[in-house]
Amino acid sequence: MPNVISVVSGKGGVGKTTFAINLAAALNEFGHNNLLIDADVSNPNMLLMLQIPHVPLTLQDVIRDKVDIEHAIRVHHTGLRIVPTSHAFDNKLDLSKLGEAIETLPETIILDSPPGIDDANIRSILDLSDRVIVVTNPEIPAVTAAAKIIKLAKNLKKTNIGVVLNRIRDDQFELIKDEVEIMCETPIIGTIPEDPAVRRAGFDTLPVVHHSPLAPSTVQYMRLAARLLGKEYSPPKYLSIKRLLAKVRK
Ligand SMILES: Nc1ncnc2c1ncn2[C@@H]1O[C@H](COP(=O)(O)OP(=O)(O)OP(=O)(O)O)[C@@H](O)[C@H]1O
Ligand SMILES: [Mg+2]
């Protein structure tokens, strides 16, 4: 298991932060310790998405004032461990020192990142990564942006790159898996359906993995976490019974 996993996209709004939070939650379900870092310093929203009210120390304090990162870790009631970033208007935080700040941490680090490919911070994030997960939606603008950030990661000599196809609707208006793989020249390591449970969980400021353990998206987050850990995972049995009943009733 690599130590630093970055979650990047190219295009904004494809589901990076949702993915980072749920991957962390799914890894926890397998008993795998991890730490989420909100490295989207231009528009941090992890605090809002998990409704963490007051944070005395943030990534800003760690990077600027060399506060030990251990002191900035917040433990959410779901067990997620997070280093938050302050929402205060501040787009000058330079992440080139992030590597130094995290180098002594023993656990897997999951870095949520800003969208875009031109930012120096994106390069710093990619540079630090042992594994790069590129989240995209099955639509041309998102996939072309994903292909660009993949190229950037490859230029930085990153080899452990995988695509996660998020918000799949299975209709005729979207790209299929094979097309995305060809456009990105990179394997797809996970697929997550469009799932109202994700938005419901978001409304309740919880990861869907905790909010709706039987939701189709949760099953896919768990599958991917198992894959990354090299572990077996079979979805809960009553899930297939639920699907069978739905078919019989049709
Ligand atoms: N599988 C899914 N099914 C339904 N809605 C989803 C799914 N994944 C993400 N969303 C929704 O998509 C919206 C954007 O998600 P999110 O904020 O995680 O994207 P992002 O890539 O981090 O955005 P940004 O680039 O602005 O940081 C949220 O409202 C989230 O609930
Ligand atoms: Mg985000």
Domain residue spans of the chain: 4-249
Q: How far is the CA of 242 from the centre of ligand 2 (A)?
A: 33
195 touches ligand 1 (CB under 6 Å): yes
Q: Taking ligand 2, which is a single-atom ion, which protein residues have CB atoms under 5 Å away?
A: 16-17
Contacts of 139 (CB under 8 A, 6+ apart): 174, 175
Tens place of pLDDT for every residue, the chain, 250 residues?
Answer: 459 999 999 999 999 999 999 999 999 999 999 999 999 998 888 988 999 887 889 999 999 988 999 999 999 999 999 999 988 765 578 999 999 999 999 999 999 999 989 889 999 999 999 999 999 999 999 999 999 999 999 999 999 999 999 999 999 999 999 999 999 999 999 999 999 999 999 999 999 999 999 999 999 999 999 999 999 998 887 666 666 777 677 6
Beta strands in 23-100 (DSSP E): 34-38, 74-75, 81-83
58 touches ligand 1 (CB under 6 Å): no
Q: Which ligand is nearest to the CA of 204?
A: 1
The CATH number of 4-249 is 3.40.50.300
Q: Token pair for residue 126?
A: 């990619």
108 touches ligand 1 (CB under 6 Å): no
- Burial code (b: 16+ CB inside 10 Å, e: under 16) for 23-54 equals bbbbbbbeebebbbbbbbbbebebbebbebee
213 touches ligand 1 (CB under 6 Å): no
Size of the chain, expressed as the number of residues it contains: 250
Q: How far is the CA of 117 from the centre of ligand 2 (A)?
A: 14
The residue whose CA has the least distance to atom 25 of ligand 1 is 12
Residue in 7, 9, 16, 18 to alter for ligand 1 test, most ligand atoms within 8 A of Cβ: 18
Q: Token pair for residue 188?
A: 């797809």
SS3 at position 57: coil
